[in-house]
Amino acid sequence: MPTISPRENLDRQIQQLLDQILVLGSMVEQATHNAVNALKNHQPSEARLIYDNDSQINQKRFEVENTCLTLIATQQPMARDLRIIASVLEIATELERMGDYAKGNARICMMMKWTPPSKVMADLPKMAAIATDMLHRAMGAFVAADAELAVKIPQEDTKVDDLYNKINRSLIAELTSDPSMIDQTNLLIWAAHNLERMADRVTNICERTIYVATGEMKELDVTDDEQEMKL
């Protein structure tokens, strides 16, 4: 049986780490879709399952972090290897927060007392579809260290922002005609905000991809949080 060199062993372990982070990304994608579908169809029992299953996303994040720390402690990774491991640590945090957004939308579904307006629920799934597609491709770009694709993906955030603004306008118009809907309106605005923030966090993943591929930390966009800090 051939002996595995330290380099080959590290490469295998890093590949396993990348596989783990892809699994975490898939879990977040599914939770996001499921939460929006539950909200669209007014299924609080389904929403409860999504809410409770967030603990699985959290557990997977901890597993990824533990793998990263074990690699650093035992394998003495250098240069690009360290960039990958450090970036996976950061991305795991971003994905866990995206999972929180899905959990938040599940909670909103559980709190809703009425079926959401049809106009809004035509656009909220579109937001989710774009955001999760961005996430899926961003994760693929990260694993492939595709800096060119990583630069392009955040440009699609404008589509999410446009839908977010459209939903806000629609909800405000409904609230103007029926002030009694204020509670439902606030919940749906928050649901749309969760999806808008998810798309923003995809940009952070893309920045890490560029860092892995080039060694350069490049800011691709300014998030809402950063804007608020500058005011």
User: pTM surpassing 0.95?
Assistant: no
Q: Which residues, other chains included, contact 195 with Cβ-Cβ below 8 Å and sequence gap of 6+?
A: 32, 36, 101, 105, 124, 127, 128, 131, 160, 164
| Whole-number Å distance between alpha carbons of 219 and 203 | 9
pLDDT in the model for residue 179: 82
| Whole-number Å distance between alpha carbons of 217 and 210 | 7
Residue 2 lies in a domain: no
Q: Answer whether residue 228 shows pLDDT above 90.
A: no
Residue 196 lies in a domain: yes
Residue 1 lies in a domain: no
| Whole-number Å distance between alpha carbons of 77 and 223 | 32
Residue 38 lies in a domain: yes
Q: Which amino acid is at 174?
A: E
Residue 61 lies in a domain: yes
- pLDDT (mean) for 29-42: 95
pLDDT digits (tens, 9 = 90+) for 196-221: 999 999 999 999 999 999 988 878 86
| Whole-number Å distance between alpha carbons of 122 and 113 | 19
| Phi–psi pair at 22, nearest 5 degrees | -65, -40
Find the domain containing 158 and state its range. Answer: 7-230
Residue 84 lies in a domain: yes
What CATH number does residue 130 fall under?
1.20.58.220
| Whole-number Å distance between alpha carbons of 228 and 30 | 30
pLDDT in the model for residue 226: 46
Q: Which residues, other chains included, contact 223 with Cβ-Cβ below 8 Å and sequence gap of 6+?
A: 200, 201, 203, 204
| Whole-number Å distance between alpha carbons of 40 and 86 | 38
pLDDT digits (tens, 9 = 90+) for 96-155: 999 999 999 999 999 988 776 667 788 999 999 999 999 999 999 999 999 999 999 999
Q: Which residues, other chains included, contact 139 with Cβ-Cβ below 8 Å and sequence gap of 6+?
A: 21, 22, 25, 205
Residue 101 lies in a domain: yes
> What domain count does the chain have?
1
Which tokens hold the place of 60? 């997977």
* Pairwise pLDDT comparison (174 vs 142), residue with the higher score: 142
Which tokens hold the place of 62? 């901890």
